[in-house]
Amino acid sequence: MRISLLQCQSSRDVSANLLFIESQLEELTRERLQWDKDAPHLVVLPECSLLFGGHESQQLAYAGDSHLSPLKSALSALAARYCVYMVAGTIPALAEDGRVYSRCYLFDDKGDTLGQYDKLHLFDVDVADGTKQYRESETFCPGNHISVIDTPFGKIGLTICYDLRFPDLFRALRLAGAEIITVPSAFTKVTGEAHWQVLLQARAIETQCFILAAAQWGAHNEGSRETWGQSMVIGPWGEVIAEQKTSTGWVHADIDVAEVHSIRSKMPVAQHNRFTAPNLKPSTDLDEIDSQRI
């Protein structure tokens, strides 16, 4: 089955970001005419695809609940209009404590919500770049569940960006049935250059899953932030299937989850692991596995 990752250079201008995504989906529609246009098609958008940066007030202004979010409505409408399944990057969603969740939705090709995931690990770190300090927890609230969703492409586990550094999350997704794991991201240029590819390949090898990592790239908001890019499709053996290192646009690949099961049967590392399965509850309130089915 064919999947497509969109590499973006998003900004604080929601309207401009939305227009860019729509223009890329129009281009994708023309390309699909050369493929099997009736086959299911999966699109993955990067983290913060509609709102990159922006102060807390702007995040709150666009945040909504699962029924009243204008950004969710815009992305689900695009999924329906262009008849694609969509892992819709991230958008802000209201949290109970006055902050927002960084939330990823998965829509089907009619725009209906198949599942959602709130970013578990928040990027509170110091980086040797122009921003210096990143403190996501000042605006964002961590999520409290993992999500594995049954789709025509296989069982998809959802993660977001900084989650990539936490192998226990990926192992939990594998144990919950994931065959494909998506990683919408906005890695900084400094950390991306150092760790992005090796972490993606490690998570693919460890879980024996396809890893679909759609990324932000370049300078954002008058150069106040710079992201690494290199959107990648990694196979369950750890091989790079497709990538786009720089610029914006699509990365396409054909995947077959039968390869996942073939590799797992030949090298059954999950059965050989002598350590007990990780507790699916982090130190704060991970109290459910959100396994959802069409």
**Which sequence positions are flagged as catalytic?**
47, 119, 161
Residue 122 near residue 156 (C-beta atoms within 8 A): no
HSE toward the beta carbon, residue 103, CA cutoff 13 A? 25
Q: How distant, in Å, are the alpha carbons of 5, 162, 197, 221, 231 from that of 228?
A: 15, 13, 11, 15, 9
E strands, the chain, are 2-7, 42-45, 85-88, 91-94, 100-107, 113-118, 124-126, 133-135, 145-151, 154-158, 180-182, 210-213, 217-220, 225-228, 231-234, 240-244, 249-254, 288-292
Cα dist. 266→100, 146, 261, 263 in Å?
43, 28, 9, 5
Q: How far apart are CA 84 and CA 282, in angstroms?
A: 33
Helix (H/G/I), strand (E/B), else coil: 113:
strand
3-state secondary structure of 84: coil
Q: Are 249 and 7 in contact (CB under 8 A)?
A: yes
Helix (H) or strand (E) holding 71: helix 70-81
Extract the tokens encoding 183. 């990683």
The dihedral through the CA atoms of 20, 25, 28, 29 has a sign that is negative
Distances (CA, A) of 171 to 79, 201, 207: 29, 14, 6
Per DSSP, the three-state class of 99 is coil
